[in-house]
């Protein structure tokens, strides 16, 4: 019987050309690598649908995808089998069966991203997972700049999507918090949707504020300008992690599906 599965996957994206399948010469992609693993198990070509793309070198702790398959494995067996076929930098954290109408992209109601900045001297152990800032940053002015971005806004100034491609560039940021964590600064973004490069352009802009090269008020001016030419700051991809994708409980997992869930970790 054909079933739809929802999977939560973590990956170290540093060595990948991003989520979305690309011409092979641009390097391996996460989506292709996972599809190849699943296809090898059920011996038929199969495609998976992610909650959205992540750029080259961007990481995920909780990216979500779905796939349909008619193959006699339960969710627990699927998790083991796929992880057994994946390289060690991609790991399925959980799999569950879901309603056949569940859609990883269209049903997502929000996402959480985290951008990590390593302050002070370069650190060999975080270089793959945090932007190594050569500059001291004023966290207070960054917080003042960030405050202008919270809420519902037209984020045209801070995304790479053209207006033809994405006519509605209004999104809501529900949380933008700067957490000082030892010698790291973590920027936590939550919202109902993020366009291409949006988190990295916002972060790049706030880094300019932290360096003293922009005032917090200029962040607001840039936002209100709704001008594709205004933002030249795109923070490096390896600092960014897609932490979680949110679904309304009615669609993300049915009661039955939860019973079959194979233990999404804390």
Q: Which residues of this protein are in contact with a copy of itself, per CB under 8 A? A: 10-12, 59, 61, 83, 88-91, 93, 120-125, 127, 129, 265
Provide, rounded to whole angstroms, the least separation between the CB of residue 258 and a copy of itself: 18
Q: What is the rounded distance in angstroms from the CA atom of residue 205 to the CA atom of residue 196?
A: 15
Question: What tokens were used for 229?
Answer: 């030419």
127-162 in b/e form (b: 16+ CB < 10 A) is eebbbbbeeebebebbbbbbebbbeebebbbbbbbe
Comparing CB distances to a copy of itself, the nearer of 92 and 202 is 92
Comparing CB distances to a copy of itself, the nearer of 116 and 200 is 116
- Closest listed residue to residue 141, CA positions, set 46, 209, 53, 56: 209
Residue with tokens 């209100």: 224
Annotation marks residue 55 as catalytic = yes
Provide, rounded to whole angstroms, the least separation between the CB of residue 263 and a copy of itself: 8
Catalytic residue among 55, 70, 99, 181: 55
Comparing CB distances to a copy of itself, the nearer of 187 and 214 is 187
Comparing CB distances to a copy of itself, the nearer of 59 and 171 is 59
Q: Classify 52 as helix, strand or coil.
A: coil
Nearest-5° angle of CA 160, CA 164, CA 168?
75
Residues taking part in catalysis = 55
């Amino acid at each position: 019987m054909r079933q739809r599965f929802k999977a939560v996957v973590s990956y170290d994206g540093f060595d990948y050309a991003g989520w979305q399948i690309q011409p092979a010469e641009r390097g391996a992609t996460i989506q292709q690598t996972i599809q190849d693993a699943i296809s090898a198990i059920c011996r038929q070509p199969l495609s998976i649908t992610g909650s959205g793309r992540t750029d080259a070198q961007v990481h995920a702790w909780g990216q979500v995808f779905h796939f349909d398959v008619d193959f006699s494995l339960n969710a627990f067996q699927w998790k083991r089998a796929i992880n057994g076929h994946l390289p060690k930098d991609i790991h399925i954290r959980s799999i569950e069966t879901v309603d056949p109408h569940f859609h990883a992209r269209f049903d997502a109601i929000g996402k959480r991203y985290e951008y990590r900045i390593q302050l002070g001297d370069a650190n060999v152990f975080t270089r793959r997972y945090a932007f190594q800032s050569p500059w001291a940053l004023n966290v207070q002015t960054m917080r003042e700049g960030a405050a202008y971005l919270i809420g519902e806004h037209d984020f045209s100034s801070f995304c790479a999507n053209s207006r033809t491609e994405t006519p509605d560039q209004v999104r809501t940021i529900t949380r933008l918090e700067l957490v000082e964590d030892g010698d790291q600064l973590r920027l936590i973004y939550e919202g109902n949707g993020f366009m291409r490069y949006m988190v990295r352009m916002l972060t790049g802009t706030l880094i300019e504020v932290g360096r003293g090269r922009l005032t917090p008020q200029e962040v607001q001016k840039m936002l209100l300008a709704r001008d594709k030419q205004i933002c030249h700051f795109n923070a490096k991809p390896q600092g960014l992690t897609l932490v979680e994708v949110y679904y309304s409980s009615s669609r993300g997992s049915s009661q039955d599906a939860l019973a079959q869930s194979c233990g999404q970790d804390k």
